Amino acid sequence: HIEPAEIMPTLPTQFFATLVSNVNRQVAQGHDVINLGQGNPDQPTPPHIVASLKEAADNPQYHKYSPFTGYSFLKEAIAHRYKEDYNVDLDPETEVAILFGGKTGLVQLPQVLLNPGDVCLVPDPGYPDYWSGVALARAEMKFMPLTADNGFLPDYSRIAPSDRERAKLMFLNYPNNPTSAVAPLSFYEETVDFAAKHGIVVASDFAYGAIGFDGKQPVSFLQAEGAKDVGVEFYTLSKTYNMAGWRVGFALGNAKIISLINLLQDHIYVSLFGGIQAAAATALTAPQDCVQTLVSRYQSRRDAFFAALSEIGWDAPKPAGSFFSWLPVPKGYTSVAFANLLLEEAKVAVAPGVGFGDHGEGYVRVGLLSSEERMQEAAYRIGKLGLF
């Protein structure tokens, strides 16, 4: 008899599992579904990175266990990138942890910092894996609402004093999944003050850090003065280099937190395949034209999609960053009912906002994850439903 631990059924799978199975059913029935519901980049990894893996795979050095905390050359490569892109200094040996994708670090951070009953502040709407990590640590979540009237930034003055005093950890994520908002440096400066004052560790999830539109590069949390004293940033190659399947991410910043993450990783993973680490270093140190190409591709898709949305009368502000758009659902629909309708009637898959938290109700998340033509077609198909 197999009985899962009590925590297991509370992990958030429901909405996305349903979305995937609904899409698969439509596809199996022969429908041409435009799937903009998930967060999976649709482009391949740039060829110079793939070539680097192929070459490294022949190197017998990499066939052994990698060093427990990963190869120094990869830690140096990410430190180099942060210096180039953000003018942030990181000590590769003490302020960098190599992760199996950002996700493992995001889920493990609560395990290494929180005791059962501690409070973690989590954005609502937000990326559901913050909840998983906090749940697995048997800690308590308190949600920080992200609303349009506040630019989808949390308002620290509205956190209940009792929650604020009990909070030990806080997640932030800009460019934001799902709302596509980007945070200014002043917000991170305010965050450092708030966190230092109340003894809260900040976890900045910078998964979409490379993707900012209209020539504006998103700011890293680590650019705020004092950021390393209060927290860490999670970075990943998944979105920046279309490497989601490769599982390469980093925790960067506070040395004490980095050593705790490394300790837990040692007990679980040892470290990524050395050949992948070599290719990841190539991604980070080679000329970054592929990143510029990727960002302009998302921007062209955004512009084409929003031009078509405006033609059909679905008005919303354009995303400032990330590869998502966050669109209000028409009156009279819940986000789930509306997403279901779009899939059934227009064969367009989108993610219901409520899957990201209660404050996501009233919105759907639409990924800029198909070609310009398909993005436009998605909008026109939706327009034919006559809802706007």
Number of neighbours of residue 4 by Cβ within 10 angstroms: 8
For ligand PLP, the binding residue among 45, 66, 69, 173 (CB under 6 A) is 173
**Strand locations in the chain (E):** 34-35, 96-99, 119-124, 140-145, 167-173, 201-205, 231-236, 249-253, 324-328, 348-349, 351-352, 363-367
Task: Examine residue 177 and tell whether it contacts ligand PLP (CB under 6 A).
Answer: yes
User: With respect to ligand PLP, which residue has the nearer C-beta, 98 or 308?
Assistant: 98
User: With respect to ligand PLP, which residue has the nearer C-beta, 40 or 292?
Assistant: 40
User: With respect to ligand PLP, which residue has the nearer C-beta, 44 or 199?
Assistant: 44
SS3 call for 340: helix
Tokens of 175: 């460019």
User: With respect to ligand PLP, which residue has the nearer C-beta, 275 or 321?
Assistant: 321
- Nearest residue to ligand PLP, scored by beta-carbon proximity: 101
For ligand PLP, the binding residue among 75, 81, 103, 164 (CB under 6 A) is 103
For ligand PLP, the binding residue among 41, 101, 218, 275 (CB under 6 A) is 101
For ligand PLP, the binding residue among 71, 82, 86, 127 (CB under 6 A) is 127
Q: Minimum distance between the CB of residue 102 and ligand PLP, rounded to whole angstroms?
A: 3
Number of residues that bind ligand PLP (CB under 6 A): 13
Task: Examine residue 52 and tell whether it contacts ligand PLP (CB under 6 A).
Answer: no
Task: Examine residue 274 and tell whether it contacts ligand PLP (CB under 6 A).
Answer: no
Task: Examine residue 95 and tell whether it contacts ligand PLP (CB under 6 A).
Answer: no
Task: Examine residue 204 and tell whether it contacts ligand PLP (CB under 6 A).
Answer: no
Alpha-carbon distance of 384 to 388, in angstroms, equals: 10
Alpha-carbon distance of 283 to 342, in angstroms, equals: 37
- Scanning residues 293 to 352, which ones bind ligand PLP (CB under 6 A)? none
Alpha-carbon distance of 342 to 323, in angstroms, equals: 20
- Give me the 230-259 binding string for ligand PLP, x by CB under 6 A, dash otherwise: ------x-x-----x----x----------
Q: Minimum distance between the CB of residue 130 and ligand PLP, rounded to whole angstroms?
A: 9
Task: Examine residue 180 and tell whether it contacts ligand PLP (CB under 6 A).
Answer: no
Tokens of 90: 């990181």
User: With respect to ligand PLP, which residue has the nearer C-beta, 173 or 376?
Assistant: 173
Q: Minimum distance between the CB of residue 31 and ligand PLP, rounded to whole angstroms?
A: 25
> Could you identify the residue written with the tokens 């009368």?
313
Q: Which stretch binds ligand PLP (CB under 6 A): 101-109, 250-258, 269-277, 356-364?
A: 101-109
Alpha-carbon distance of 203 to 234, in angstroms, equals: 7
- Count of CA atoms in the C-beta half-sphere (13 A) of 256: 6
Alpha-carbon distance of 76 to 85, in angstroms, equals: 14
Alpha-carbon distance of 339 to 317, in angstroms, equals: 19
User: Are the C-beta atoms of residues 301 and 368 closer than 8 Å to each other?
Assistant: yes
Alpha-carbon distance of 386 to 217, in angstroms, equals: 37
The alpha carbon dihedral of 105, 108, 109, 112 has a sign of: negative
Q: Minimum distance between the CB of residue 322 and ligand PLP, rounded to whole angstroms?
A: 8
Q: Which residues bind ligand PLP (CB under 6 A)?
A: 39, 101-103, 127, 173, 177, 205, 207, 236, 238, 244, 249
